[in-house]
Amino acid sequence: MISFRNKKVDIDLSNKCTLECPMCARQELKKLNKKVPGGDMSIEDFEKVCDYYGSDEEGISLCGPISDPIFNPNFIEILKVAYRKNKKVYISTAATSKKKDLYWYEKAFDANPNATWIFGLDGLPDKSWVYRINQDSDLIFDAMKLCVNKGLDTVWQYLVFGYNENDIDDAKKVADKNNINLVITHTSRYWSDLYRPTKEIVKKTIKEEMKVFKPKCLSGDRPAYISATGQVLPCCWVDKPTEDLLSTDKVLSKLNIKELNINNIKNIEEIYEHKVYIKFYNDLKNQSKDCSSFCRSKCSTTTTNIKERYGKLSRKS
């Protein structure tokens, strides 16, 4: 049996978000007239997560692909659980709501002084909302400053788009002045010319030669994922609600059973001890013909790719 104990996990704590970032998977679902699946993870299920995943280096990432974690009604309690159980949590948030003022953020920061907060503010506060549609960008900026002042690990994640590419130097000054760790992040997700940067220099490219099938879930390059429906999955790529992979892919659909859902188990060990998971990982390890064709296409290539480099989280010295 392959163990993922103390390894990183990524969780969609809920299925909600107030923002409408154009390149988010939520918008794809909307275009297809599909609902965002799932709901809110319970405190009890989050305790199971803490009892199994996460270590000092790896942590528990609250940055699922379809939601903003602050909308789980148990969010503050969840932060307390992680603190009590001594598990490092990384919170990625960009969304705002009229119901959550600065006082609410203060309570959230106090709930877990060891947490790292990554704020999605794509530009200075007067422009971030161009991509982060519906965002109260001033509130996010104030929350970010409060987070630093309270001594928590704080990251300003700045995605570079056409509308904000000329403001990076100003953002650096603002970040320095407020002692914020600014991470400039380059993305290849521009589905509209409004967001496409015009300057070449903002694109850092790397060449990557991949000639073999190398499952990233086994190499540790891709964390395990728990969806908003509670399904424990080998990575978030296999849960593509827009394509319904978990129903249509012959191999991946086997992972979509109630026995592999966090709501129906006592502890996470049960998941990886299940015969379906043992076979799934053995097939990946042995590169068996039974591996999913989706996995093969996602985790291998025979060409030389020019890949966009994404900003990495790093402490400023």
183 contributes a contact to ligand SF4 by CB under 6 A: no
Please give the structure tokens belonging to residue 282: 């053995």
- Binding residues for ligand SAM restricted to 41-80, rule: CB under 6 A: 63, 65, 68
Q: How far is the CB of 119 from ligand SF4 (least distance, A)?
A: 11
299 contributes a contact to ligand SF4 by CB under 6 A: yes
Among ligand SF4, ligand SAM, none, partner that 298 touches (CB below 5 to 8 angstroms by kind) = ligand SF4
Please give the structure tokens belonging to residue 103: 């006082």
In sign, the C-alpha dihedral spanning 239, 240, 242, 247 is negative
Query: How many residues bind ligand SF4, per CB under 6 A?
Result: 22
What is the crossing angle of helices 102-111 and 75-84, to 10°? 20
One residue of 67, 72, 154, 157 binding ligand SF4 per CB under 6 A: 67
Q: How far is the C-alpha of 49 from the C-alpha of 267, rounded, in Å?
A: 8
Please give the structure tokens belonging to residue 76: 């503050």
- Residue 101: is it exposed, middle or buried by C-beta count within 10 angstroms (0-12/13-18/19+)? middle
Among ligand SF4, ligand SAM, none, partner that 148 touches (CB below 5 to 8 angstroms by kind) = none
At residue 62, what are phi and psi to the nearest 5 degrees?
-100, 70
Q: How far is the C-alpha of 143 from the C-alpha of 212, rounded, in Å?
A: 44
One residue of 41, 130, 155, 238 binding ligand SF4 per CB under 6 A: 238
Q: Which of 228, 301, 255 is nearest to 25 (CA)?
A: 228
Q: Are 261 and 37 in contact (CB under 8 A)?
A: no
284 contributes a contact to ligand SF4 by CB under 6 A: yes
Q: Give whichever of 21 and 295 is closer to ligand SAM, judged by the CB atom.
A: 21
Q: Can you give the binding site for ligand SF4, defined by CB under 6 A?
A: 17, 19-21, 24, 26, 67-68, 94-95, 215-217, 222, 234-235, 237-238, 284, 295, 298-299
Q: Can you give the binding site for ligand SAM, defined by CB under 6 A?
A: 17, 21, 23-24, 63, 65, 68, 92-95, 120, 157, 159, 187, 189
